[in-house]
Structure 1
C-alpha cells in the first residue's frame, strides 16, 4: 500500500464510503417499506416488488448480506483512511483518521442515506434488490454460516428467527390504519369500514326493534281485523303470534301475505300455512355473528329472545346493514324524527331511541355499557320510574324529561355541557 499513490487510495476510500451508504440505505429501505403496499404491488405483477418480497421472506439472510457488506467496506475504509493519514501526518494520522472517518461515515454513509431511505423506501429498496439478490447468491455460503451462528445464539434465549407477528393486525390496529387513511379513501367508505370493524362490539340488542314497538299479527284477532292490519302494514315481514308476543308462531312475508289476500275466502288456517318458521336470535349475539348466520341460514329477520326465551324484539337484515351503510329510508311523513334539533342548540329525543344512535348522530359519548335506550338510561340513573317531568345529569349531559306516557319517557330534551 505504501507504493500506491494517494490519489488512488483517496478514490478507493471515496468508493468505499459510497458502498457503505448503499448498504445503510438498503437496510433501512428494505425494513421501512410498507408491507401491505408491497403485497399489493406483488399481486399486480411488479417484478421489483416481487424481488424485494422474496428477500424479506428471510430477513435474517437479508440482514446478514447487508451487514457483511457494510462491515467489510467500513473496516476496509478505516484501514485505507489510516494509511492515507499516516503518510500525510505521520503517527498523529491515526487519531486524525479515526475522528475524520467517524464523522464522514456518520454523516455521509449512515444518517443521510438512512434518512433518505426512510422517506422514500421504495425508491431505495427496489433498485437495491438487484444488487442484494446478486450478492446473496455469490456470498450465500458465508451468509448461511453467519445466520446459523446467529440463529443458534438466539435459540439459546428461546427465540426463533421465523417467529414474527409484525405482519398481523388486530381489529384495533386495523381501525387505526383506516383512520390514518382518511385522505386516501372517501369519507363514506371510511365510515363503512369502521362500522364493519364495530360489528363484533355491537350486540343485536343494540339495534333491535324493542317488543313494545313490534308490529305483529295476533292470530286470536278476527280474520277481518287481520286482513285490515295486513293491508295497512308498511312492513315486508311481520311476526305472527298467539295471544302475546312471547308465543310467536311464525313470520309472514309480504309476498305470502299477497297470496293469502288473493284467496276467495281467506282463513286463519291459510294464514298460518303462509307463514314461515320463526328464526330466533339470543339477545347477546354480536352483529357480525348475526350477519353471518343470516347469510348461512338464508334469513332476513329474526326474533330476539333473552336467556329465558322471552321475546325482547325483532331484528332484520336491514337493521344490521344500516349499522354499516347508514339509514336506507327517511322517516315517513307521519313519523317524527327520533332526534330533533331545537333553536337553543339542544335536542329533543324520543325515549325509545338507542343510545348508540344518539352517540353516532351527535358525536356524543353517552354510556352504552348498560341500558340500550335513552328511556333505560334515564330510569337507571334515577333508580325510579318518573311520574312527572324532571331534570337530571349524566356525565356532561343535561337531560330534561318532557313527556311521560305509560311509565315510559316519551320525549326528553338533551344538551351537552361544555
Structure 2
C-alpha cells in the first residue's frame, strides 16, 4: 500500500487528469458524430428558419458529410489512442508489466461506457438539439483538422480507385426522397401515418420519376370525332359524351386537326341560332373547325412534374401524346396527373363502369387487364414491378413472352396469374392471388 501511495505524486495526478480530459473529448466527438448524422435536416431547417443559430450552423456543418465524419473520427481515434497510451504508462509505472493488461481492461471499460455508449445514447435521444449545441465547436475542429482529413480522404479515394470504385465529392450521404419515403413507410407500419396519406405524399414525390407514357389514356380508348361529319351529328356526339374536350380528326384517327371544347361548341351554336333563322336545322351550316382549338402535342417521355407545370403555365388541361416518330400514342389531362397524387377522381358525368379490382371470397382478386400496376400496388400494398410494363395485362404478356389464351396460368414475382377473359389480342381480365395465400 505504501508503495502505491508513493506513486500518487504530481505526475500521477497530471496523467490522470489528462486521461479524464481526453475521455471527455472522445465523448464529445462520439456524441457529435451521432447527433449530426442522425439529425433530420428538415427539422434543422425548420429551426434555422425560426432564427436558431445553432441549427443553421449544424446545417452548414453537415453539407460536407465526408469531411465531417473524417474530422470527428480522426479526433476520436487520436484522443482514444493517446489516453490508452497514458494509462498504460501510468499503470506500468505502478504495477510493472502487469500494468499493460490492467490498462487495457480499465481503458476499454472507460472508453466504452463514458466515451461511446453514454454520449451516443444521449445524442440519439435528442439529435437535433445536440447537433445545434455542438455544431460551432465541431466547425472549429473541422477547420483545425482539415489538412490532415484532406490527406486521409485522398488516400482513401486512391485505394478505392485501385479497386474500381469511384466516389463523388458532391454526393450527399442520404437521398431526401428515400428518407421521406422510408419515414412514410415506417410511419404507416407503426400506425402513425394513414395509408391514404402515405399514398398521396408518395404520389407527389414520384411525379419526377414517372413519365407521361405511364399514365396516359391509350389511343384505342380515346373518344374522337370526325371533323367531316355533319355538324348536327357532331353536336349530338358532344352532348352524349361524358368528356368536355374531344379531339377532331380528318381521314384517319392519327390525323388530329383540332380539339373541340363542348362550351365553345355550344356558344357557337347559340350565336349561330341568334343570327340565323333560329331553327336547329340551320346548325348544319356551322363550320366546326372554326370552333376547334389548336391541338397540343407532347412527347411520351415527358416527366409528369414537368408536364404539370406546363399545363399550369399554358392554362390548359388537355394534351395529345406522340412517340418519337410523331405518331399518336394517347392523351393526357391534368386530372390524370392529379389522380396519381390523390387517387381516382370521379364526378356525376363519369361513366359508372365496374371496379377494376374486385376481391373474391377465395382470396383471389379479379383485375381489369387495363389497370395500371401502380394502381394495383397502391390498393393492395403489393410490390409488382412496373419497369417493363404499365398495365397488369402488359406485365403478364411481358413475362409470358406471348399473348396467352383464356385459362392459362402463370406464376412469377410471388403471384399466381390466371387469364380470365380476353378480347381480340387484349387481355381484358385476370385472376390474381399471392402464392403465399395458398396454391
Fold shared by both chains (TM-score > 0.5)? yes
C-alpha change, 1:308 and 1:69, in structure 2 (3 Å) is closer
Contact 1:29–1:122 (Cα < 8 Å) also in 2: no
From 19, 22, 37, give the equivalent of 2:21.
Answer: 19
CA distance in 2, matches of 1:124, 1:30: 7
Deviation per residue, 1:359-393 (Å, 9 max, x gap): 4333445564455445555666473585xx43332
From 204, 215, 220, give the equivalent of 1:196.
Answer: 204
Q: Secondary structure at the match of 1:302?
A: strand
- Give 1:39's aligned residue: 45
Deviation per residue, 1:294-317 (Å, 9 max, x gap): 334433111122344332321111
Contact 1:390–1:401 (Cα < 8 Å) also in 2: yes
From 285, 292, 308, give the equivalent of 1:291.
Answer: 308
Q: Does 1:280 align with 2:297?
A: yes
- Give 2:323's aligned residue: 306
- Give 2:115's aligned residue: 110
Q: Does 1:98 align with 2:117?
A: no
Q: How does 1:154-303 map to 2 (within 5 A)?
A: 154-155=153-154, 163-167=169-173, 169=175, 171-172=177-178, 175-180=181-186, 182=188, 186-263=194-271, 264=273, 265-266=282-283, 269-303=286-320
Contact 1:260–1:274 (Cα < 8 Å) also in 2: yes
**Greater shift after overlay, 192-201 or 374-383?**
374-383
CA distance in 2, matches of 1:172, 1:148: 33
C-alpha change, 1:105 and 1:82, in structure 2 (3 Å) is same
CA distance in 2, matches of 1:62, 1:210: 51
CA distance in 2, matches of 1:335, 1:52: 55
CA distance in 1, matches of 2:200, 2:241: 31
C-alpha change, 1:268 and 1:340, in structure 2 (3 Å) is farther
C-alpha change, 1:117 and 1:311, in structure 2 (3 Å) is same
C-alpha change, 1:3 and 1:56, in structure 2 (3 Å) is farther
Q: Which ranges in structure 1 are unaligned for 5 or more consecutive residues?
A: none
C-alpha change, 1:185 and 1:153, in structure 2 (3 Å) is same
C-alpha change, 1:408 and 1:123, in structure 2 (3 Å) is closer
CA drift at 1:5 = 9.8
CA drift at 1:351 = 3.8
CA distance in 2, matches of 1:130, 1:79: 29
Q: Secondary structure at the match of 2:229?
A: coil
From 115, 119, 129, give the equivalent of 2:124.
Answer: 119
CA distance in 2, matches of 1:116, 1:204: 47
Contact 1:209–1:315 (Cα < 8 Å) also in 2: yes
Q: Secondary structure at the match of 2:30?
A: helix
- Give 2:420's aligned residue: 401
CA distance in 1, matches of 2:72, 2:379: 55
Q: Secondary structure at the match of 2:310?
A: helix
CA distance in 1, matches of 2:389, 2:106: 69
Q: Does 1:345 align with 2:363?
A: yes
Deviation per residue, 1:333-362 (Å, 9 max, x gap): 742222233343333333433344334333
- Give 1:49's aligned residue: 55
- Give 2:276's aligned residue: none
Q: Does 1:392 align with 2:397?
A: no
- Give 2:162's aligned residue: none
CA distance in 2, matches of 1:365, 1:80: 56
C-alpha change, 1:181 and 1:25, in structure 2 (3 Å) is farther
From 334, 347, 366, give the equivalent of 1:317.
Answer: 334
Contact 1:17–1:108 (Cα < 8 Å) also in 2: no
C-alpha change, 1:44 and 1:410, in structure 2 (3 Å) is same
**Greater shift after overlay, 368-377 or 217-226?**
368-377
CA distance in 1, matches of 2:409, 2:237: 40
Provide the TM-score with structure 2 as the length reference.
Answer: 0.72
Q: How many residues align?
A: 404
Contact 2:366–2:429 (Cα < 8 Å) also in 1: yes
C-alpha change, 1:318 and 1:58, in structure 2 (3 Å) is closer
C-alpha change, 1:289 and 1:126, in structure 2 (3 Å) is closer
CA drift at 1:327 = 0.8
CA distance in 2, matches of 1:346, 1:242: 45
